[in-house]
Amino acid sequence: MTEYMQEIRKKVGHMTVMQCGASVIVENKNGDILLQLRKDNGCWGYAGGSVEIDEVVENAAKRELFEETGLTANKLELFGVFSGKDMHYIYPNGDEVSNIDIVYICKDYSGELRKQESEVYELCFYPVNKLPANLSPPNIKVMNAYIASR
C-alpha cells in the first residue's frame, strides 16, 4: 500500500475510497503473461498498485513492476483504463475501493524475476489459455479484455 493510501486509511478506516492504480501485464517472447500469487487475497494477478500523489502514472506502473517482480520495463504500451462496478473490491482486511486501473502491456523488459517478499508468494508466466482459476477479482475485467484483444 502506498504512503498516500496508508494516510487515507488512517482517516477513513475501511470506507470506500477511489483508488487510481497503475498496472502492467508483462508478456514474454512466447506470449505467456506474468502473474503473481498475491499475499493479501491469495489470488493470482498482474503487477500493479496505487499511484502516489503527483506521480506520473507510467512511472508508477514501472515502479510497481520493479518492486513486485524485479523486472524493469524498458517500454510500456497503454492497454486501457478500466473502471466501474466490476472494479469495486473489498480486500480481506475490510478496506473497500472503487478502482480506476490504468493498465499497460510490457513486452520489452529486463532484469531477473525476484518477488516482493511482503506482497508476493510466487511469480509465474502462464499461457493465456491456461490462466489459473483464482484470478484476483479486480483483475478479471482487465484479463477478459486482454484475452479478447489477442
User: Which residues are known to be catalytic?
Assistant: 122
Which amino acid would we find at residue 138?
Answer: P
CA distances from 128 to 55, 137, 146 (A): 31, 17, 9
Our measurement of the distance from residue 127's CA atom to the centroid of its chain's CA atoms, rounded to an integer in Å, reads: 18
Provide CB contacts within 8 A for 144, sequence distance 6+. none
CA distances from 136 to 30, 40, 53, 72 (A): 23, 10, 25, 23
